[in-house]
Chains A and B, each alone.
Chain A
Amino acid sequence: MYAPEFQYYRAASVAEAAELLSKNPDAKILAGGHSLIPVLKLRLAAPSALIDIGRIEVLRGIECSSGTIRIGALTTHAELAASAELRARAQALAEAAGMIGDPAVRNRGTIGGNVAHADPASDLPQVLSCLGAEFLITGPQGERRLGASEFFEGLMSTALGEDEILTAIELPEAGAGEGSAYAKFAHPASRYAVIGAAAKVAANNGTCTAASVVLGGLCPAPVRAEAVERALVGRSLTDEAIGSASRATAESLDDDEVLGDVYASAGYRKAVAPVWVRRAVTAAASRSG
């Protein structure tokens, strides 16, 4: 299809982008364009202007210092997947980024665009929620920082104001004895997540000391599987223990919230979700201490 008419601006700096946003109330930020352009072509949105932030170099890149990983909003999925630092210190994120779409999507799509779009079938929201990420936001009121549970509000909606820009995401490096992993049931057409399970496990001598398990694909926003987390902590991470803990997944899934479509119904997704939780936790456990 053909997009409706819009103005195009290319911002040279975050400040310029912010200014353009405030001057064009109906405008949209353009990052990799892999979610926004399809929306325009289907004429599901008709912004007056696109503000391209794609050349703002300071928004790009992965930095690790004193236990914190800072990822620029423009960092592509391919860069996340290829990052040796992430593969060592935030395995689930590198793993999930490598499972997004196909190479073309990974080369263009950005972490910032992915979370700002907040598609319930995306991979990164649940991973970033699981890993305790924080979202750095710039707007007319200055800068602010939100945790994942505040940032992701619901179906394709976030706490980002219309005049705000997401500049970076920060997350803690995996500590001693910690491991994380991502397991995904990909849709055969779109490759988006039908179910995506992110798990982070801390262990001491094979006994789980902390666990974080977050699911995507199932509900409008990422869902923390608290019952699974509780069932893991204090247990020795055997296959049996992980299997039985995973079965508690359903307790965190509200029937009214679980999404379904022609490919996979809500009931099916809910019934098989524990399998992906088990796979993610098992892999995370194998990377933990």
Chain B
Amino acid sequence: MSASTFGSGIRRREDPRLITGSATYTDDINLHGTLHAAMLRSPYAHARIAGIDTSQASQAPGVVAVYTAADTEGELAPAPCAWLLPNSELKIADFHCLAKETVRYVGDIVAVVVAESQYQACDALDLIEVDYEPLDTVVEPKQAAATNAPQLHAGIEGNQAFHWTVTGGGDIGEAFEKADVVVSETIVQQRLIPNAMEPRAALASYKPATGELTLWSTTQNPHIVRFLCSLVTNVPEDRLRVIAPEVGGGFGSKIAVYPADFITVFCSKRLGVPVKWVESRTENYQATTHGRDHIQEIELAATADGKITGIRATVWAGMGAYLSTAAPGIPTILHGLMLSGVYDIPAIHEDVYGIYTNTTPVEAYRGAGRPEATFMLERLVDLLAAKIGADPAEIRRRNFIPKFDDGHDVVTGLTYDSGDYAGALGKLLDEAGYAQLRADQAAARENGRYIGLGLSTYVEICGLGPSQVAGAIGFQGGLWESAILRFHPSGKVHVMIGASPHGQGEETTFAQIVAGELGVSPDDVKVIHGDTDNTPMGWGTYGSRTTAVGGAALALAARKIREKAKIIAAHLLEAAVEDMDYEDGKFFVKGSPDSSKTIQDIALMANVAWNMPEGVEAGLEATSFYDPPNFVFPYGAHLAVVEIDPETGHVELKRYVAVDDCGPQINPVIVEGQVHGGIVQGIGQALWEEAVYDEGGQLLTGSMLDYAIPRADRLPDIEVHSTVTPSPHHPLGVKGIGEAGTIASTAAVYNAVIDALQPLGVEGVRMPLTPERVWRSIQDVQERN
């Protein structure tokens, strides 16, 4: 197989097992003697626990144990927050695994029942009597920050978890004072529910004889779970094995470590038998992390001809009742530092207030901070265009950072790697036929039809990231990745990698990387991941980093193998190493390609080691650690076309065209799939999705009957195009693509809807753009006039 495997759209090897139902998820693993845990969760968003009576539940059929906070005293530490945002007055409230004294959101765990069957455990939950004394609740972050708001945590004034600021470039006050034009808006980035297809689950198996514990977990990062679980449960890290078997999607919601997982571990330790917990979809909605939840007050200063001179923003980020594992970094580092976007902006200032509310904790959710940043910018830029009467495409061109291929500094302190933003927009406008679309739109308006075009040009930060930066920004871990690449005697390959793909397709793309580097067939490469006992250390799959960081580690391991193989080949061909050449898996003396040794020949010799060069170790295996020198910055330009029915407010998405640049594509079909999925999740935010709480903190959209996930039949075919700009600092030139679509698409659809409504005088509508909201916005304008 030739090196051209790198870059070809071969089929995902993951799919046969996934689509035939033969994949093994956590709940599919059955150990002899397993007991089943069910969590009693608070039905109140805020209440004092005056008493818990578990006596009846303990007597129920099949029940083995019932535990409350009192039982775990000294054995379970609080669930940790592991992103200790510096210079932000960060105040972390204890997130007790089992609530002590107070519950603070609907879903807080009060007790656990362990029984012989899952049904018995659930039946017994109904028998636990908890005496709750309800307290006042607050669910909206800006309200929670106001004086007189109910207080969630003693000693955390104003419910403020942190106050983080980014200031860059020139004087922001002056930028606004001198501005010819100022536009401003308040945006609600509504709270979203990630909806991984597989709910979360944990199976813990403690062996009293050895003190070893194995935890099967639906996680995106098994090594982080091992590290933090060991701290929380006191199982030493060397005795703790964490396995992420097949994981059915995460979108960020499986990054965090959760109380329920630690409780399951506690139960297995206490009882000395395996204990399994599988959340219901109701629990998934109530207690698996949510995303977004910002109130953003934003403004932009510009010159009369539309050159941006400053951006200023205040954001209230709802964090939920407690800080989830990585939560503080999301609305800050991953959001505020991206406020320059694709534009050359001389002055930026943002205040972000992280606020506790009586709601489910938030975490990273596909895009994690960057969709919220892109949305702000893309709204402001469109408002600016409208204000000065320029076309939205033109206003973007006037402000783009010019093409660069080896580093560009923005005032927030980041150095982008490479980009040609005008190039991506140009390609988009050509592919979409923008000029014609504008002409069609004008003609449709004449006929009383409301068609809108929405642009979104974005750059995002991913491939997290240099570990030194991780340390500087308070991330309590490294952000490098490692890979072991091992040739077996027959020339087949095992890759053991610390990253933990869960649906993205890296079992396929990693095999393609090896194939590209060493000329083996991708079919000969098995990729092993997700088991802390069988894989080297890794920091996990999130932040579009698996290929960007783990893939780089793998490529470097392959290159080490190539160097070693060259030495062995030279020995076998009785030539000097300097005289050796390599092509497509063959090593030969320069100029004589006919007499060569294949990588498989060398693998066999290295493994039997009958005839090795002096001083060269047996085996053909390499380990690499890759700590990226910088993040990578994929970018692109998207266009949405919508039509509004003014009579009912319905929005029809008619076309969606995307141009994305993630550098060289290892597998363009997988890239396209990631772009599709990402775009659809962003469209979901614009049009359908919202976790709605009532004032008392009850989740009104508590199931898929009410929470609207995008459906294929409501979407047009997504037109996907790309440009290719390698990252200058990456061994393969590649950038991440897992989140790009989501980062771009919400703004594109939103802008299209506002563009369509422009002749009706509507300037803003709160998301999601439900028919009623759109209809009311039209009614409101008509009533005003």
Residue ranges of A at the interface with B (Cβ–Cβ < 8 Å): 1-5, 42-43, 185, 187-190, 192, 261-265, 268, 271-272, 275
Q: A-facing mask of B277-321, CB < 8 A → 1, else 0?
A: 000111000000000000000000000000000000000000000
B706 lies within 8 A of A263 (CB): yes
**B705 contacts which of A189, A264, A272 (Cβ < 8 Å)?**
A189
B648 lies within 8 A of A185 (CB): yes
| Given A4-B123, A188-B688: A264 and B118 interface contact (C-beta under 8 Å) | no
Minimum CB–CB distance for A153 against chain B, Å: 23
Closest to A274 in B: B647
Bound Cα distance from A262 to B282, whole angstroms = 18
Bound Cα distance from A1 to B119, whole angstroms = 9
B122 lies within 8 A of A1 (CB): yes
| Given A1-B282, A189-B706, A263-B706: A268 and B692 interface contact (C-beta under 8 Å) | no
B775 lies within 8 A of A272 (CB): yes
- Residues of B with C-beta under 8 A to A42: 282
**B700 contacts which of A1, A43, A262 (Cβ < 8 Å)?**
A262
Minimum CB–CB distance for B749 against chain A, Å: 14
| Given A1-B282, A189-B705, A189-B707: A268 and B772 interface contact (C-beta under 8 Å) | yes
Bound Cα distance from A264 to B648, whole angstroms = 11
**A190 contacts which of B119, B705, B714 (Cβ < 8 Å)?**
B705
A264 lies within 8 A of B280 (CB): no
A263 lies within 8 A of B770 (CB): yes
Bound Cα distance from A2 to B118, whole angstroms = 8
Minimum CB–CB distance for A106 against chain B, Å: 13
Closest to B710 in A: A188
- Residues of B with C-beta under 8 A to A189: 688, 701, 704-709
Say whether B771 faces chain A, with CB atoms less than 8 Å apart: yes
- Residues of A with C-beta under 8 A to B706: 189-190, 261-263
Closest to A265 in B: B772
- Residues of A with C-beta under 8 A to B118: 2
- Residues of A with C-beta under 8 A to B771: 185, 264, 268, 272
Minimum CB–CB distance for A126 against chain B, Å: 19
- Residues of B with C-beta under 8 A to A43: 126
Minimum CB–CB distance for B299 against chain A, Å: 31
Bound Cα distance from A2 to B123, whole angstroms = 9
A275 lies within 8 A of B707 (CB): no
Say whether B776 faces chain A, with CB atoms less than 8 Å apart: yes
| Given A1-B282, A275-B647: A262 and B775 interface contact (C-beta under 8 Å) | no
Provide a sorted-by-A list of 15 A–B residue pairs whose CB atoms are within 8 angstroms: A1-B281, A1-B282, A2-B122, A4-B123, A5-B119, A189-B688, A189-B709, A190-B705, A261-B706, A262-B700, A262-B701, A264-B771, A272-B647, A272-B775, A275-B648
- Residues of B with C-beta under 8 A to A262: 692, 700-701, 706
Interface magnitude class on chain B = 20 to 34
Minimum CB–CB distance for A275 against chain B, Å: 5
Q: A-facing mask of B553-573, CB < 8 A → 1, else 0?
A: 000000000000000000000
- Residues of B with C-beta under 8 A to A265: 772
Bound Cα distance from A107 to B92, whole angstroms = 51
Bound Cα distance from A190 to B772, whole angstroms = 17
**A268 contacts which of B119, B282, B776 (Cβ < 8 Å)?**
B776
In residues 684-701 of chain B, which contact A (Cβ within 8 Å)?
A: 687-688, 692, 700-701
- Nearest 9 interchain pairs by C-beta: A189-B708, A188-B708, A190-B705, A2-B122, A268-B772, A1-B280, A272-B648, A262-B700, A262-B692
Bound Cα distance from A188 to B711, whole angstroms = 8
Bound Cα distance from A3 to B281, whole angstroms = 14
- Residues of A with C-beta under 8 A to B776: 268
Bound Cα distance from A265 to B771, whole angstroms = 11
- Residues of B with C-beta under 8 A to A190: 704-706
Bound Cα distance from A190 to B707, whole angstroms = 8
**B775 contacts which of A2, A3, A268 (Cβ < 8 Å)?**
A268
Closest to A38 in B: B705
- Residues of A with C-beta under 8 A to B772: 263-265, 268
Bound Cα distance from A2 to B775, whole angstroms = 40
Q: A-facing mask of B116-155, CB < 8 A → 1, else 0?
A: 0011001100100000000000000000000000000000
- Residues of A with C-beta under 8 A to B775: 268, 271-272
- Residues of B with C-beta under 8 A to A185: 648, 771
Closest to B706 in A: A189
Bound Cα distance from A185 to B118, whole angstroms = 39
Bound Cα distance from A4 to B120, whole angstroms = 9
Bound Cα distance from A90 to B72, whole angstroms = 64
- Residues of A with C-beta under 8 A to B126: 43
B648 lies within 8 A of A5 (CB): no
Bound Cα distance from A263 to B775, whole angstroms = 13
Bound Cα distance from A17 to B552, whole angstroms = 66
In residues 600-616 of chain B, which contact A (Cβ within 8 Å)?
A: none
Minimum CB–CB distance for A47 against chain B, Å: 15
Bound Cα distance from A164 to B119, whole angstroms = 30
Closest to B776 in A: A268
Bound Cα distance from A271 to B770, whole angstroms = 15
Closest to B714 in A: A188
Bound Cα distance from A188 to B692, whole angstroms = 15
Q: Which of B118, B687, B701 has the most CB of A within 10 A?
A: B701
Minimum CB–CB distance for A192 against chain B, Å: 8
| Given A264-B772, A275-B648: A2 and B119 interface contact (C-beta under 8 Å) | yes
Minimum CB–CB distance for B116 against chain A, Å: 14
Closest to A191 in B: B711
Bound Cα distance from A43 to B706, whole angstroms = 18
Given contacts A262-B701, A263-B708, A268-B772, 6 further A-B contacts (CB under 8 A): A1-B122, A1-B280, A5-B123, A185-B648, A190-B706, A264-B770
- Residues of A with C-beta under 8 A to B280: 1-2
Closest to B702 in A: A42
Q: Which of A189, A190, A261, A264 has the most CB of B within 10 A?
A: A189
Closest to B707 in A: A189
Bound Cα distance from A268 to B774, whole angstroms = 11
In residues 738-784 of chain B, which contact A (Cβ within 8 Å)?
A: 770-772, 775-776
Bound Cα distance from A4 to B772, whole angstroms = 38
Bound Cα distance from A187 to B770, whole angstroms = 10
Bound Cα distance from A5 to B775, whole angstroms = 46
Q: Which of B118, B122, B714 has the most CB of A within 10 A?
A: B122
- Residues of B with C-beta under 8 A to A275: 647-648
- Residues of A with C-beta under 8 A to B649: 272
- Residues of B with C-beta under 8 A to A1: 122, 280-282
Bound Cα distance from A79 to B777, whole angstroms = 41
